Amino acid sequence: MIKPIQAKMLMFDLDDTLVDDGIATETAAKALFGKYRPSQADDALSHWKRALKLHYPAFLQGKLSAAEMRQARAREALQDKSLSADAAEQAFEYFMQQYIDATVLYGDTLACLDQLKQQGWRLALVSNGPEDMQQRKVRAAGLLDYFEFVLTAEAAGVAKPKAEIFQQAAQLAKLELSQCCYVGDNLVNDAQGSSAAGMSSVWLQRSKSCEPEYQPLENVNWTIASLNQLHQCIGLA
């Protein structure tokens, strides 16, 4: 029988792990285009995703500041390169407020976190999202009190799957990497990235319907389909 992961702290991804980023993004994109580009509202999500794909990696790589990234995404999404810095910031902030208002937790999130806290687990968040956006989202979702700290790629100066962000998280926790377990939905950034850095890892595949599975061959310790299954593959060290 395979023994559960033994750890002293669980670290979580945020988007599409604890909160439904897809619903919030679609709602906010439609609201943004409803205000700025009503005739293109049907294509709002595709425009927003394209802008994210074009400019967010440069932010994670340190090639764009947070402000430059926000403005570039607003101009790209709205297809208006002439937007001033102030106008682009206003458009992005409008999107952000709609996004925060539309942020919803998955149905298994609070039950999982409540159970873990009752069992004495130390918890933290490690996210590739921008500092301001993720902090606002965590507060709006009522999650802040569950975690000892929230570490973002912007604050860390490095993004998942780079080992350095997981190393910084372990240092903040005053633990060895081997004493930490990371839970997230992205195979490369979350599961394999944390595992390669030296943590145990649990890959959350919400689109799947399966029993918890031990699978070390993919550089991932466990795969689960719901946070309700997390307790089956971890143990408090």
Digit-coded pLDDT (tens) for 145-187: 999 999 999 999 999 999 999 999 999 999 999 999 999 999 9
pLDDT of residue 184: 97
What is 5-20+105-236's CATH number? 3.40.50.1000
Angle CA(186)–CA(192)–CA(198) in degrees, nearest 5? 135
What is the model's pLDDT at position 220? 80
3-state helix, strand, coil in the chain (%, to 5): 55, 15, 30
Q: Are 211 and 205 in contact (CB under 8 A)?
A: no
Rounded Cα–Cα distance for residues 223 and 132 (Å): 31
Contact 171, 179 (CB under 8 A): no
Look at residue 4 in the predicted model and tell me its pLDDT.
80
CB 105 within 8 A of CB 206: no
First to last CA, the chain: 18
Q: Is the pLDDT of residue 1 over 90?
A: no
Q: For the whole model, what pTM was predicted?
A: 0.91
pLDDT tens column, 99-128:
999 999 999 999 999 999 999 999 999 999
- Which pLDDT score is estimated for 207? 78
Q: What is the pLDDT of residue 217?
A: 47
Q: pLDDT tens, 39-91?
A: 999 999 999 999 999 999 999 888 999 999 999 999 999 999 999 999 999 99
Report the alpha-carbon distance of residue 18 to residue 20 in Å, rounded.
7
Q: Are strands 200-204 and 180-184 parallel, antiparallel or unpaired?
A: parallel
pLDDT tier at 5 (50, 70, 90 boundaries)? confident
Residue 213 has pLDDT above 80, yes or no: no
Contact residues for 125 (Cβ-Cβ < 8 A; gap 6+): 11, 12, 13, 14, 134, 138, 143, 147, 149, 150, 151
Q: Token pair for residue 184?
A: 């997230």
Q: Is 142 left (phi over 0), alpha (psi -120 to 50) or beta?
A: left
Closest CA to 129 of 209, 184, 211, 195: 184
Contacts (Cβ under 8 Å, ≥6 apart) of 172? 124, 148, 149, 151
> Which residues, 6+ apart, have CB-to-CB distance to 130 below 8 Å?
59, 66, 69, 152, 153, 154
| Residues 160 and 153: beta-carbon distance below 8 Å | yes
Domain residue spans of the chain: 5-20+105-236, 22-102
